[in-house]
Structure 1
Amino acid sequence: MAAAAAKRPKTSPKAVKFLFGGLAGMGATVFVQPLDLVKNRMQLSREGAKTREYHTSLHALGSVLRHEGLRGLYTGLSAGLLHQATYTTTSLGIYTVLFERLTGADGTPPGFLTKAAIGMTAGATGAFMGTPAEVALIHMTADGRLPPAERRGYRNVFDTLLRMAREEGILTLWRGCVPTTAQAVVVNVAQLASYSQSKQFLLDSGYFRDDILCHFCASMISRLVTTAASMPVDIVKTRIQNMRTINGKPEHRNRLDVLLRVVGRKGFFSLWKGFTPYYARLGPHTVLTYIFLEQLNRGYRRLFLST
C-alpha cells in the first residue's frame, strides 16, 4: 500500500486548481470581451421602434466603433474579469475536485451520467457566485446605447456594484440568478450530450479518426447545439438583469413576462437575437480557457512538482 502511495503522481493543491481556473477564464475574456458586448447590445436593442437598432452583428460592432471608439469595445472588461474570477474559478474548481473524488481507485473515470451531474452542480454553483459580476457586466455594456442624459457613467465593476446596491438594494446584485443558473445547467448538459454524439457520428462516418481534428469538429458542432439551446434562456437573463424599477415597480414581472413580450413584439426567432456573436464567443472562449489552463498547470508541474 505504501509503495502504491509513493508511486502515485503528485498533483497540484486544490487552491491552485481553483486559482488557475479563474486565471485561465480571465485570460480568455480579454480576447472575447468585444463579442460579449455586441451580444448584449443586440439582445437589449430597442423594442417597438420602426426600424431595428441593430440589423446584424457587424452593424452593432460598427455602431460601437463609430460612437464609442475602439476603447468602447472593451466597456465592462473589469466586470467580465471579475465574473471569470468568480464563476470560472468556482465551476472549474468544483468540477475538478468532484471528478477526482468520484474517480475509481484504479483510475476509472466517472460514467456519463455522473459527469453530467458533476457538470451541472459545478455550473450552477459557479453561476450563483458569478451573478453579481454578470449583472454589473450587463449594466456596463448596455450603458453606451442609452441617450447621453440617461447614461450612468460607471467607472469600473466595483463602482457599478456599489451604486446598484446603494440605489436598488443588495438583492439586485443577484437579479436574474434563477435564469443564470438554469442557463449554466442547460449549457453543461447540452455540451456533454452533443459533444459525445457529434464525436461518435464523425467517427462512424469513416472520414475522421480519433484525433485533434475530430475533437475540434465535434466541439464546433457541440457549440452550435449548445448556443441554440441556451440562447432563449440567455436573452431572458440579460433583460431581467438590465431591467429598471419604474415608479417602484420592476419593468418585468417574471421570466414568462419577458418571453411573452419579446416574442409578441419581435417574433419567435427574436429569442435567438445575438446568435452569431454568442456562438463566436462561446467557441474561442472555451478553447482559450483550456489552452491557458493547460499551460498554467504545465508550468506549475515543471516548477514545483518536478523531481
Structure 2
Amino acid sequence: MSAPAQDAAPPLPAGQKAAPKLKQPYPFWLGGVAATIAASITHPLDLTKVRLQASGDKRMIESLRKTVRTAGARGLFDGISGTWMRQMSYSLCRFWAYDESKKLIGAGPNAPAWKLAAAGSMAGGIAGLVGNPGEIVMVRLQGDFAKPPEKRFNYKNCFDALFRMVREEGFSSLGRGLTPNVFRAILMNASQLASYDFFKAELLKTQYFEDNIYCHFTASFAAGTVATTVCSPADVLKSRIMNASGPGSNSTMQVIRNSLKNEGPMFMFKGWLPAWTRLQPTTILIFLTFEQLKNVVDWTRGTTKA
C-alpha cells in the first residue's frame, strides 16, 4: 500500500467553503509609473498651464503657438525631466500613501466618501512634503523659456536644477512654496483619488457598468473635473511662488495681496481651462494606465487574464 500524500489538505466539513485566498498587494511604485506615463503624454498642456499662471501669456492657444514659434515643436516638451522627477517622487508617494491610509482608517471598496477623502488628505500631506523639491524643479523648468533671457534660470535638466538650487539659494530653497504645495496636494488627493474610488464604486452599483475600461473612463472623467475646480486656487499660488526668485518672493500672503490688488479675486481661477484641459486627460490616462498595469501584474501572477 502506498503512503498517503504528505501535502494533501484535510477535507472540509460538508457545506463549508474554503476561505478565499487573500490577494497580494500591488507594487508600491505602480501608481508612480502610471502617472509618469500619463504626464509625459500631456506635458505640453501642463507646460502651457504653468506659463499662463506664472508669466504674461493670456490664452492657451496663443501660449501654445508662441512656444512653437519661438522654440519649435520640441519646445512643447521643455522641462520634461522635471515632470519625470516630480511624478516619480510625488505621485509614487501619493498612491502608496493613499493605499496605506485606507488600510489605516478602514476604508474598504464601498467606504463612504468622507473616509476616502480623509485617506486622500493624509496621502496628499505626505506626498506634498516629499515631492516639493521635484515640484519646484518641474515648475521652474517649464516656466523658464517664457521669461525674458536675463531672468531665466537656464537649468540643463532636473538634476542640474536641484544641485544649483541648493548651491545658489541654499538648502531651504527646496522648501519654497511648501505650504501651498502641501495644501494643494491635500486638495488634489482628497478630490482626485478619493472621488475616482467613490465614482467607480457608485457606477459599479448600477446595472450599466462593470469593472472595465468604460467604468474607469467615466469615473476618472468625473474625478478630473472635481479635482481641477477644487485645486485651482492653490495651484495658481504654488506656481507663482515656486517660479519667483529673490528675497521675500516666497511669502504666500505677499503673493495673495499682490495678486488681489492687480487682478482681483478671480486670479485664483486663472488658467482653469488649460488646467482642466491638462488635468482631465492626465487623470483619465493615470487611472486607465494604473488599472491596466494592475491587470498586467495580475496576469503575471496567474490570477487573471491580461
Q: TM-score range by the shorter chain?
A: 0.7 to 0.9
Is contact 1:198–1:221 with CA below 8 Å preserved after alignment? no
User: Which structure is higher in RCO with an 8 Å CA cutoff and minimum separation 6?
Assistant: 1
SS at match of 1:282: helix
1:81 lines up with 2:84 in the alignment: yes
For residues 201 and 280 of structure 2, the distance between their equivalents in structure 1, rounded to whole angstroms, comes to 16
Q: Tell me by how many angstroms 1:12 deviates.
A: 3.6
Structure 1 unaligned residues grouped into runs of 5+: 46-52, 203-207
Map of 1:72 onto structure 2: 75
Map of 2:5 onto structure 1: none
State, as a whole percentage, how many aligned pairs show the same letter.
31
For residues 201 and 303 of structure 2, the distance between their equivalents in structure 1, rounded to whole angstroms, comes to 35
SS at match of 1:11: coil
Which of 271, 275, 287 is matched with 1:278 structurally? 275
After TM superposition, the structure 1 = structure 2 runs for residues 133-144 of structure 1, keeping only pairs within 5 Å, are 133-144=134-145
Map of 1:42 onto structure 2: 52
1:126 lines up with 2:127 in the alignment: yes
Is contact 2:30–2:293 with CA below 8 Å preserved after alignment? yes
Q: Tell me by how many angstroms 1:20 deviates.
A: 0.9
For residues 44 and 162 of structure 1, the distance between their equivalents in structure 2, rounded to whole angstroms, comes to 23
Q: Which amino acid aligns with 1:275?
A: W
Map of 1:159 onto structure 2: 160
Instruction: Work out the number of aligned pairs and report it.
Output: 285
- Alpha carbons of structure 1 residues 66 and 56: separation in structure 2 relative to 1, 3 Å: same
Q: Normalization by structure 1: what TM-score?
A: 0.82
After TM superposition, the structure 1 = structure 2 runs for residues 228-243 of structure 1, keeping only pairs within 5 Å, are 228-243=229-244
Map of 2:289 onto structure 1: 292
After TM superposition, the structure 1 = structure 2 runs for residues 167-206 of structure 1, keeping only pairs within 5 Å, are 167-191=168-192, 192=194
Is contact 1:102–1:109 with CA below 8 Å preserved after alignment? no
Q: Tell me by how many angstroms 1:61 deviates.
A: 0.6
SS at match of 2:154: coil
For residues 118 and 240 of structure 1, the distance between their equivalents in structure 2, rounded to whole angstroms, comes to 27
- Alpha carbons of structure 1 residues 209 and 124: separation in structure 2 relative to 1, 3 Å: same
Which one has a bigger Cα radius of gyration? 2
For residues 289 and 304 of structure 1, the distance between their equivalents in structure 2, rounded to whole angstroms, comes to 22
Q: Tell me by how many angstroms 1:298 deviates.
A: 1.4
SS at match of 2:29: helix
Is contact 1:102–1:110 with CA below 8 Å preserved after alignment? no
Q: Which amino acid aligns with 2:115?
A: T
CA deviations over 1:112-151 (Å, ceiling 9, x no partner): 3222211100111111111101100111111101222332
SS at match of 1:154: coil
Is contact 2:180–2:237 with CA below 8 Å preserved after alignment? yes
CA deviations over 1:57-111 (Å, ceiling 9, x no partner): 000111111001111111111111111111111111121233345548xx77443
Q: Tell me by how many angstroms 1:219 deviates.
A: 4.8
Q: Which amino acid aligns with 1:11?
A: Q
For residues 274 and 144 of structure 1, the distance between their equivalents in structure 2, rounded to whole angstroms, comes to 18
CA deviations over 1:143-172 (Å, ceiling 9, x no partner): 101222332321110000000110001111
For residues 264 and 93 of structure 1, the distance between their equivalents in structure 2, rounded to whole angstroms, comes to 40
Map of 1:148 onto structure 2: 149
For residues 35 and 114 of structure 2, the distance between their equivalents in structure 1, rounded to whole angstroms, comes to 26
1:265 lines up with 2:262 in the alignment: yes
Supply the RMSD in Å over aligned alpha carbons. 3.1
For residues 196 and 101 of structure 2, the distance between their equivalents in structure 1, rounded to whole angstroms, comes to 22
For residues 109 and 100 of structure 1, the distance between their equivalents in structure 2, rounded to whole angstroms, comes to 13
SS at match of 1:152: coil
Map of 1:99 onto structure 2: 102
CA deviations over 1:246-304 (Å, ceiling 9, x no partner): xxx2225x212211211211232222121111101111111111122122221122113
CA deviations over 1:201-258 (Å, ceiling 9, x no partner): x9xxxxx96537787566545533432232111111111111111xxx2225x21221
Q: Tell me by how many angstroms 1:190 deviates.
A: 3.9
Structure 2 unaligned residues grouped into runs of 5+: 1-9
Is contact 1:21–1:93 with CA below 8 Å preserved after alignment? yes
Q: Which amino acid aligns with 2:239?
A: T
Q: Normalization by structure 2: what TM-score?
A: 0.82
SS at match of 2:146: coil
Is contact 2:117–2:191 with CA below 8 Å preserved after alignment? no
